[in-house]
Amino acid sequence: MIRRNPNGDIPQVHETAFVDPTAILCGKIVVEANVFIGPYAVIRADEVDDDGDMEPIVIGADSNIQDGVVIHCKAGGGVNIGRGTSIAHRSIVHGPCTVGDHVFVGFNSVLFNCVVGSHSVIRHNSVVEGCEVPQRFYIPSTANIRSNADLAGIERVTADVSDFSESVAQANHELVKGYKRIRNEF
């Protein structure tokens, strides 16, 4: 469902993107080319700052927002998801937040008030809040990263982890093509 927010902003969805009919997109959102937005995802840009303004939620080209993901912004803060990025099932990305290009965010993870550098991997059930994750970092499952100091023991991403992330992005890119092809069959 595509709908306006109280300010009258309506999502802009590129014609090559696929948004599942059960997903909800509300407000100042930009969905770029070849993006996959899965079932029951909720992407909502509707809160304003003290001046009545808000930053958009931007989903970069070739990214995938999987089943049950929630993306929202606090007090007008924006969310920027880079190109070729995968946000896995039931994750929450709460702005203000910037996620770089070719990032993998695992199942049930939470990102809030943070920056995640390109080519990083955040595994399942992790929390990243109030810090800046440099490029090519690997955050293991169930990690709780709440400051830049918590990043001191974090490894760089290895080739096998990057390969997995790329395979997820490619699989979802193929889903965009497949669902666009059969969209009139529902």
Active site residues per annotation: 47
Query: Residue 37, Cα to own-chain centre: how many angstroms?
Result: 10
87 with 105: CB under 8 angstroms? yes
CA distance 50 to 70: 24
- Pick from 170, 164, 22: nearest CA to 106: 164
**69 vs 10, 42, 123, 148, 155, CA distance in Å?**
19, 6, 15, 25, 26
